[in-house]
Amino acid sequence: MSITGGRQLKQLREGLCLSMREVEAASLAIATKLENPEFHLPISRLSDIESKGVLPNIFRLFSLSVIYERDHRELCAFYGIDWHQAISARQCMSHRKTHIFSTLGSVPDVNIPVVVDPGFDVRRTTNIVRMIQKWGIVSASFLSQLARSGDTYAFVGTEDLTMYPLVMPGSFLQIDESKAEVIDEGWRSEYERPIYLIETRAEFICAWCKVSNGSLMTQPHPLSPVSPRVFRHPQEAEVIGQVIGIAMRLDACHFDASRNGKHTVASN
């Protein structure tokens, strides 16, 4: 039983100067309007909810949310249900079939970047977390994980062709910083080979890499025009972590190698 949840509901009612009888009358009006008696909240049931820890069912929770003019997620929180955790909780279930889902679309309040460093240059690969100066509450979903998870997020610069075409310029990357140890064997194809985010003194690089004898070599995709680079490790280059997620459009950019012998990215 949740006595605390009931007490919080009582505080809402008393804060609005509503008597139990008024709440009952309002719930009866809701039940009548919606043609469902389940929305009705008798005084005896309201008393049990407030003082004995009885849990309100979903219909009565709806009525209380309407009567007290509070979001139902706030009332759920009185009983230990945090709807913001639905995004991370979803990872506990793995569906075998590809499908469209919308169950998380109702999660309203998340933290997203509202002030970004004015020095942010979309042409260069960047550690996004370091460029965020202020987080704000905005109506959206999924983006809250930027603030809640321990991962780092990076933006692949529009002029960064290091991993083209496997990782397109303009992509967003999710980086697991706990996987900063370079693995240089054991994969069966280029799609399984770990990609890393490397920070040098001048820039960030998204690439395959190899560490050997105090040196770190970044290895571009074979179809990329970028050449391999060698840095002293860790003095000149540090591995931030392994890329574990990529968000990119497949129709957003194409590679143009015909303009003055230069490699550029052009938008469709």
pLDDT for the residue numbered 135: 60
Burial of 25 (0-12, 13-18, 19+ CB in 10 A): middle
CA dist 38 and 27 (Å) reads 9
pLDDT for the residue numbered 150: 64
Whole-number mean pLDDT of the chain? 81
pLDDT for the residue numbered 124: 82
* Cα-to-chain-centroid distance, residue 60: 32
pLDDT for the residue numbered 44: 95
Q: Sorting pLDDT into bands at 50, 70 and 90, what band is 209?
A: very high
Cis peptide before 165 (omega within 30 of 0): yes
pLDDT for the residue numbered 114: 54
CA dist 54 and 51 (Å) reads 8
* pLDDT exceeds cutoff 50 at 257: no
8 A C-beta contact, residue 249 and residue 168? yes
Q: Evaluate if pTM is beyond 0.75.
A: no
The residue among 239, 238, 182, 192 whose CA lies nearest residue 212 is 182
> Average pLDDT of 177-206?
91
Q: Sorting pLDDT into bands at 50, 70 and 90, what band is 149?
A: low
pLDDT for the residue numbered 97: 56
8 A C-beta contact, residue 162 and residue 220? yes
Print the SS3 string covering 210-223. EEECCEEEEECCCC
> Average pLDDT of 103-122?
60
pLDDT digits (tens, 9 = 90+) for 210-255: 999 999 999 999 999 999 999 999 999 999 999 998 888 766 544 4
pLDDT for the residue numbered 82: 87
* pLDDT exceeds cutoff 60 at 163: yes
pLDDT for the residue numbered 141: 45
The residue among 190, 194, 189, 191 whose CA lies nearest residue 241 is 194
* pLDDT exceeds cutoff 90 at 100: no
pLDDT for the residue numbered 42: 96
225 or 105: whose pLDDT is higher?
Answer: 225
Domains of the chain with bracketed CATH? 3-81 (1.10.260.40), 109-267 (2.10.109.10)
pLDDT digits (tens, 9 = 90+) for 5-50: 999 999 999 999 999 999 999 999 999 999 999 999 999 999 999 9
